[in-house]
Chains A and B, each alone.
Chain A
């Protein structure tokens, strides 16, 4: 039930855009996104709940398509500080509610070069 992230790694030049995808084989109640810099703990970015809501702050946003059981993270005009590994975490639906367990994908390594 681990979500599948794609791509596994991406290299961008500063200012370019990136999309990271997270797909599940089961119905989702929520999707979390985190960023982890090398040698540090993951840091929470945002949560999306079922309902197709799109959220974001500054140049990082995300969408959640519950019918397709997938979420996408959009990084616009990337900055050097965006480098790191991005993880999605998914919560499954159990009887119309979340199962209160967050299962993470294997991560997408994003490298931004000047």
Chain B
């Protein structure tokens, strides 16, 4: 079982809906990440949070809004998404974003479908 928990596992939403994806880890990690993965492609980094502060935004459209309420939780708020945003959204965590050689541990993702 993965130590990074994501909910919901599946989400179907219309282009005008507002929804949120949630991620939780209890490994004491201080870096958390959101990735987007399209079918048969590798994960692509979206955001990095370090010590609960947004450190990296990989030029992600504003219809994706991340939030880190505390060191264990990470949310991704979705609004006015487009059909091309349908993908597997993965959350990951690591001990420290600047630490050498630290692996990232991934959750099983939320499968998002935009109608």
A and B from one assembly? no
Q: Which residues of A pack against B, CB within 8 Å?
A: none
